[in-house]
Amino acid sequence: DAGVIQSPRHEVTEMGQEVTLRCKPISGHDYLFWYRQTMMRGLELLIYFNNNVPIDDSGMPEDRFSAKMPNASFSTLKIQPSEPRDSAVYFCASSNRGLAGYNEQFFGPGTRLTVL
């Protein structure tokens, strides 16, 4: 398996522009997570889906952020309009509810977003 795929790997945009980040989870995984990582705040959970349904979006910082999962193999995180404080690395992760009680998440390589 190719693992979790994210695109683009790098994004530089200007303040006010719309940004769309994309994620393809590992086939067969039924949970998908979006995280944001910064030096100051570490890894923050933004939203997660189970079987394409959003379960918890309490980490989404503002209405400028939205996420969708139209099918089991694709999700997007959109920021509109973008602001400089949105600059961070955004990770997508997926997992499979197996027999283990712990939640091993498989992370993508991340999208490094810079908003000028």
**8 Å CB contact between 14 and 115:** yes
Q: Are strands 42-50 and 19-24 parallel, antiparallel or unpaired?
A: unpaired
**8 Å CB contact between 86 and 77:** no
The residue range among 18-26, 64-72, 80-88, 93-101 that interacts with another protein, by the rule CB under 8 A, is: 93-101
110 binds another protein (CB under 8 A): yes
Please return the burial class of 28, using the count of CB atoms within 10 Å of its CB with bins 0-12, 13-18 and 19+.
Answer: exposed
> Quick one: residue 104, left, alpha or beta (phi over 0 = left, psi -120 to 50 = alpha)?
beta
The residue range among 21-29, 60-68, 73-81, 89-97 that interacts with another protein, by the rule CB under 8 A, is: 89-97
105 binds another protein (CB under 8 A): yes
Of these, 34, 49, 65, 91, which contacts another protein (CB under 8 A)?
Answer: 91
Pick between residue 57 and residue 81 the one whose CB is nearest to another protein: 57
Find the binding residues for another protein in span 33-52 (CB under 8 A): 33, 41-43, 45, 48
Angle value at C-alpha 16, between 15 and 18, nearest 5 degrees: 110
Residues at the site binding another protein, with contacts judged by CB under 8 A: 4, 31, 33, 41-43, 45, 48, 56, 91, 93, 97, 101-105, 107-110
